[in-house]
Amino acid sequence: MKQTEESIEKSAGTSIGPLTIQNTSLQHERAVSVCIVLPTYNEAANITHILDRIFDQQTVHGSSHIQLSVLVVDDNSPDGTADLAREYGRKNEAVHLLSREEKDGLGAAYIAGFQHAIHTLHPDILMEMDADGQHNPSDIFRLVTRIGADADFVIGSRYIPGGSVPQTWSAHRKLISRAANRYTKMLLNTGGAKDCTGGFRAIKASTLLKIDFAQLQVKGYAFQVTLLDACVRNGAMIQEVPIAFLERERGESKMRPKDMILGALMIANIRIHRLLHGHNHKDTRSTHMTRTRATHKSSAKLSANS
């Protein structure tokens, strides 16, 4: 798929070097660069608002040691989302736009965004985040500062103590969400994570560089669980930070029943393939479960060698 990157000024970036994140002191040899990859399709009602809220957090935390940038990955939204992101980038050089020719699924958008960010913007940490307001930007620094020597992949979790889903969710929706997580944990390597399907995450760039995205063979929403599985299988240590998952502020959800069915089939196919080819799923998973702890802490160290 043809895609273009637009920004007022491209970030030069740096390779990962020695640095330390130490909660409020935030003392280290250089700034930690964090790129938030923001997939969009028909999010004109939300995009400016969510970008404002993201960069408000940079102001609130007043930290020159953690520098945020955003890569908006737009799948040719007919409502002008890309135009609004482009206009925002003219005023804020930390906002970049990757325009794709067509809607090709959440997974495909994230893969394109990750690959572009890593090779063009050179961040230390990449984040997944929704553009619709369901992920609270005030949690960004909580996830980022949890990255460290014992955490390569941090999940904003709805299903550990302190986490929650909207009270307006029906019992049916809560059941589906819980069942999806249980199903995934039965079949894939999840590193002991309680929230496997959530899409609010901070991941070391060095961890993503180990992943062969072509082998994931997933374009839709199942990307979230297959990426987690791939990172765990490549040695990533998983941590979770509790978040309150919010209601969408504006617009309509893109998730369809068809997407859930296709995702479930994709996970089953992966598991069957491994069984047929003799991969030992349970041993891999149990190794990482012993190193995974849900945590409320927001202090950590990011090691260049981890």
User: Which string of DSSP letters, residue by residue, matches 255-278?
Assistant: --HHHHHHHHHHHHHHHHHHHHTT
pLDDT at 109: 95
Q: What's the confidence (pLDDT) of residue 285?
A: 39
Contact 194, 181 (CB under 8 A): yes
166 vs 170: CA distance, rounded Å: 9
Residue ranges of the domains in the chain? 17-294
Question: What is the number of residues in the chain?
Answer: 306
Looking at residue 290, its pLDDT comes to 33
% of the chain beyond a pLDDT of 90: 63
Residue 188: per-residue pLDDT: 93
Q: What are phi and psi of 97, to 5 degrees?
A: -125, 125
From residue 184, give the alpha-carbon distance in Å to each of 75, 160, 188, 264, 271: 28, 17, 6, 8, 10
The pairing of strands 32-40 and 125-128 is parallel
Distance separating alpha carbons of residues 147 and 237, to the nearest angstrom:
10
Q: What angle do CA 12, 239, 299 make, to 5 degrees?
A: 65
Tell whether domain 17-294 is in CATH 3.90.226.30: no
Specify the pLDDT at position 300. Answer: 36
Let me know how many helices (H) and strands (E) the chain has, helices first. 10, 9
Residues of the chain with confidence (pLDDT) below 50:
7-27, 281-306
- Which among 76, 80, 90, 107 has a CA at the least distance from the CA of 6? 90
The residues facing 154 across adjacent strands are 202, 239
pTM: 0.82
pLDDT tens column, 161-211: 999 999 999 999 899 999 999 999 999 999 999 999 999 999 999 999 999
